[in-house]
Structure 1
């Protein structure tokens, strides 16, 4: 009986560790995507600001 409980506990712990590792990988991918999107946003903002400055001069 005790062996079965330990085996079940071990299985649950291994599943938790796998889930934790998966979430860490997903978090890293999301950080990279967020960084890319922020750079893209800044580039677009710069272009819009440039267009607005040109329009102010007209």
Structure 2
């Protein structure tokens, strides 16, 4: 009986560690994507600001 409990506990701990690792990888990917999107947003904002400055001069 004790062996079954430890085996089950070990399996659950391994599952938790696997999930934690997967979530950590996903978080890293999302952090990189967020950074890329922020850069893209800044580039678009700069272009829009440039167009608006040109329109103000007209």
- TM-score higher than 0.5: yes
Deviating above 3 A after TM superposition, structure 1's stretches of 4 or more consecutive aligned residues are none
Residue 26 (structure 1) aligns with: 26
What is the total number of aligned residue pairs between the two structures? 58
- The TM-score normalised by the length of structure 1 is 0.99
After superposition, the CA RMSD in angstroms is 0.2
1:6 deviates by 0.2
Residue 37 (structure 1) aligns with: 37
- The TM-score normalised by the length of structure 2 is 0.99
Provide structure 1 residue ranges, at least 5 long, that are not aligned to the other structure: none
